A and B are shown apart, each in its own frame.
Chain A
Amino acid sequence: MDLSFVAIQALSGLASASSLFITACGLTLVFGVTRIVNFAHGSLYMVGAFTAATLVPWLLEFSFGPVSFWAGILLSAMIVGLLGVVIEVLLLRRIYGAPELFQLLATFGVVLVLQDLVVQVFGPQDILGPRAPGLRAPVEILGRRFPSYELVLIAAGPVVLGAVWWLLRRTRFGILVRAATQDRDMVAALGVNQALLFTGTLFLGAFLAGLGGALQIPRVAANTGMDLSIIAECFVVTVVGGMGSVPGAFLAALIIGQLQAFGILIFPKSTLIVVFLLMALVLAVRPSGFFGRPEILASGHAVGIVSRRPTPYGRMLAAIVLACLAALPLLGDAYLLKVATEILVFALFAFSLQLLIGVGGLVSFGHAAFFGLGAYGSALAVRWLGAPMEAALPAGLVLSGLGAALIGAFVVRLSGIYLAMMTLAAAQILYAVAFQWVEVTGGDNGIVGIWPSAWAAPRDAYYWLTLILTAATVFVLTRVIDSPFGYTLRAARDSESRAEAIGIAVRQQRWLAFVLAGAAAGIAGSLYAFSRGSVDPSLLGIPTSVDALTMLLLGGIQTIAGPLVGSAVLHTMRDQVMPVTALWRLVLGSSIIAMVLIFPRGLVGTIRYWREDRA
């Protein structure tokens, strides 16, 4: 490794750090003022890239030159800024006081909506933007060629930092933003026009996301996968830097840029692993990041399961439903059985998440990690060890349990929004590993040929197997929820300081909950792998995590049966709607937003509310 190589790597690290900082800075500013982690921030970045890749060539046709190019970039960022304003006025404004789980889900609804809208507006193809006029020729640095556009990017980071610094320190708007980041209630009490401040902040945040995206067009083609990959990286930057801190985001982006540039030498397959290790290290020493303040994370009220007297109806109803489900194969409809098997699998998956969210108040946004680990654990056992299903199912359970133990070990140090972001990042890293470690995991194609043993191969036999395992696991988890252990989780959710004061080891209990929930999700994942005969990285993806969350939300977070009902409804809906429209994500996203806004109790919760209201 010679000096010139090191220099070039360091420079490209700086260039990616700049891009990352510009985008993450918007996220952290918006969080500081509104206390909402805007999931759609990555989507705004994507819209910025698509807009610029379309707009800039058009401007260059009129007059070719640097002015048109840079004007196009800024104009794209402005357009995205306005989109941010629209999102604030239509959605965010209505959910500032909502529990953070709902805020995250609602902004994820925006992600889904924008994914489909981008395809509708810009088409499904990737769009590579033009190179910047005047910056086409590479420069020579220590005998190596280096793209001159990257040098401009390197400068752009500090320029934006300077501009934001000036804005925050020297303008009235900036003073208000800083004041609101420190003490939102006081700013409101002083009679500041909150609505205008929040809308302005959203404009600024979205503008920065759009700018970050627009600046990418000469380097990478605008594509529909950009939103989720950048949001995971932004989460890492803001968490490591400290939520709400702009200098923190800058420092974290610098370090992460370098780690990614040089991490290639250590883990050529997944530079994200190095980033993950950094994150683990920083959070172990400073749980609120470089410049974050712990009090900023004083989390809002958690929603979840409350005590209620056990009724005989509940048990009777469960027995009847179970009997009906067991009799389902008698109908002899093969397609129905396939759908029913999948519903059971997702019901178990969503139910395992309920232990973390509804009981523990731990808003995990990366539950797909455990579902995917279970599926991959089984698939790898079949593929590499030739294991039969009977051995591969427990293998999936073990792998997901171990994964949950590892991830849980350091996310239980966090709370609220940090926990949500870190679980998401952890799942995203596993996704990257599954995607990039082609020799072992089969990469994008995944692993095929994962079939059940002969006795379980008929559709009805496999359905019964799934039903038995799902019902047994749900039964065990229900007992756990009602047991002292489950109560300690709820106690810690209701009041952490009170729980500690009566001798509950909060972190330890939460870690155990992670292991348990992870293992249960792993069973679901393994069952899913054998029902489809294959696994692929999408099982670990963010959309899979959000599926589980949507099922919870749909069924009702305050109820034990909610996730089971939610999964049945969502899966059936998907089965019916997906074949008739290409806009499934638009439908799903709008439904999530609508549920958060008008239907936050979910189906089971609403029914119970009506009943108790009448009583």
Chain B
Amino acid sequence: MSLLSVQALSKAFGGVVAARNVSFQVERGEMLALIGPNGAGKSTVFNMIGGQLRPDGGSVSLNDKAITLASPGERFRLGIGRTFQVAQAFQSMTVGENVQMALISRSGENHSAWTPARDRHRAEARDLLELVGMHEAFERPCSELAYGDVKRVELAVALAGDPRLLLMDEPTAGMALRERAALMELTHSIATSRGIGVLFTEHDMDVVFGHASRILVLLRGEIIATGTPAEVRGNARVRQAYLGDLPLTAAAP
């Protein structure tokens, strides 16, 4: 049984088909990259798995439980954590409170309306922030952080739900080159140690080929190739999609 199973997912916007018959699996502990040229349908597929978008057809299941129509909140409780392309943090809160908020929600305390939120789950929030190297900023307002640090906080927030599957939409977009590798290595080590499956989209091919255990190539809403980085690198259809009819030698700089 796979962790995440996507079966024949389809979505069209007006007449434009954004996803056609997309099927794949994510296993525990693996880093699966979803790549493709602009407009290939990556975000569409991603948002159907995250619950932000409702598919026209097909199914999504997590641990064999169908979640095709579940809301993002239900998915969170079932073990899906996600980060966004443009990092979404609670800007009016401190770094610690951002993580505490997710812990509060996970513990079903959203309706508790008397004792202060800032005193809850502090230790656990600190541990999670330590995991991503942000524990020293615990009391700092999130609005003061550099963008790369916000992305780390977002990862801690996503991990606070104790997820089985992590969805990361362009995790390194907007980050400096050195930070990118660090974030992906961090994600990788967390994923392997906790047995979390990671599905991510990414534009930076160094990140993809350096950190993905498996790659899925999407073109015009359809999967045209899947395999290890080495297999995808050598795939003729992928080369054609990205490089057109260029001869092989012209591709390498």
Contacts and interface: CB of A to CB of B under 8 A. Distances in A.
B161 to A, nearest CB: 6
Contact of A487 (B76, B77, B93, B143): B93
B109 interface: yes
B113 A485 contact: yes
B73 interface: yes
A499 B141 CA distance: 18
Interface stretch (B24-32, B82-90, B193-201): B82-90
A609 to B, nearest CB: 15
B82 A501 contact: yes
B113 A500 contact: no
B2 interface: no
B113 A486 contact: yes
Interface in A462-509: 479-480, 482-488, 490-491, 493-495, 497-505, 509
Interface stretch (B114-122, B206-214, B243-251): B114-122
Given A485-B111, A494-B90, A497-B84, A307 B73 contact: no
Nearest to B106: A503
Given A482-B117, A484-B120, A485-B112, A502 B76 contact: yes
Given A503-B73, A505-B73, A505-B110, A484 B104 contact: yes
B191 interface: no
A435 B73 CA distance: 44
A305 B161 CA distance: 26
A309 interface: yes
Contact of A493 (B92, B113, B116): B92
A304 interface: yes
B129 interface: no
B206 to A, nearest CB: 27
Contact of A502 (B52, B105, B120): B105
A480 B116 CA distance: 8
Contact of A495 (B89, B118, B161): B89
A306 interface: yes
B59 to A, nearest CB: 21
B172 interface: no
A483 B89 contact: no
Contact of B92 (A494, A503, A512): A494
A298 to B, nearest CB: 13
B101 to A, nearest CB: 5
Nearest to B74: A503
A493 to B, nearest CB: 7
Contact of A498 (B90, B94, B106, B161): B90
B141 A306 contact: yes
Contacts of B139: 309
B114 A488 contact: no
A512 B111 CA distance: 9
B40 interface: no
B111 A497 contact: no
A241 B94 CA distance: 41
B197 to A, nearest CB: 17
Contacts of A482: 116-118
A307 B116 contact: no
Interface residues of B, number: 43
A487 B104 contact: yes
Interface residues of A, number: 30
A23 B114 CA distance: 48
Contacts of A491: 90, 93, 101
B153 to A, nearest CB: 11
A390 B194 CA distance: 60
A482 B106 CA distance: 18
Contacts of B18: none
B171 interface: no
Contacts, number: 113
Most chain B CB neighbours (cut-off 10 Å) among A488, A491, A503: A503
Contacts of B114: 479-480, 483
A488 B106 CA distance: 12
B221 interface: no
A494 B93 contact: yes
A503 B161 contact: yes
B91 interface: yes
Interface in B54-105: 71-74, 76-77, 81-82, 84, 88-94, 97, 101-102, 104-105
A103 B230 CA distance: 56
Nearest to A496: B88
B50 interface: yes
A480 to B, nearest CB: 5
A307 B142 CA distance: 10
A486 to B, nearest CB: 7
Nearest to A309: B139
A385 B139 CA distance: 55
B92 A304 contact: yes
A480 B117 CA distance: 10
Contacts of A487: 93, 97, 101, 104, 117
Contacts of A493: 92
A498 B89 contact: yes
Contacts of A480: 113-114
B151 to A, nearest CB: 13
B93 A483 contact: no
Nearest to B90: A494
B4 interface: no
Contact of A486 (B94, B117, B120, B157): B117
B160 interface: yes
B124 to A, nearest CB: 14
Interface in A36-84: none
Contact of B84 (A305, A309, A498, A504): A498
A504 B114 CA distance: 18
A539 to B, nearest CB: 28
A148 B158 CA distance: 68
Contacts of A486: 113, 117
Contacts of B143: 306
A483 B101 CA distance: 11
Closest 10 CB pairs of A and B: A498-B88, A503-B76, A485-B113, A306-B92, A494-B90, A495-B88, A487-B117, A503-B73, A500-B72, A502-B102
Interface of B: 50, 52, 71-74, 76-77, 81-82, 84, 88-94, 97, 101-102, 104-106, 109-118, 120, 139, 141, 143, 154, 157-158, 160-161
Given A482-B116, A503-B74, 20 more contacts: A307-B141, A479-B114, A482-B118, A483-B116, A484-B112, A485-B112, A487-B93, A497-B52, A497-B84, A498-B89, A501-B50, A501-B72, A501-B73, A501-B84, A502-B76, A502-B101, A502-B105, A503-B72, A503-B73, A505-B110
19 contacts: A306-B141, A307-B92, A307-B93, A480-B113, A484-B113, A485-B112, A487-B101, A487-B117, A488-B104, A488-B105, A488-B110, A495-B89, A498-B88, A500-B73, A501-B81, A502-B160, A502-B161, A503-B161, A504-B105
Interface of A: 304-307, 309, 479-480, 482-488, 490-491, 493-495, 497-505, 509, 512
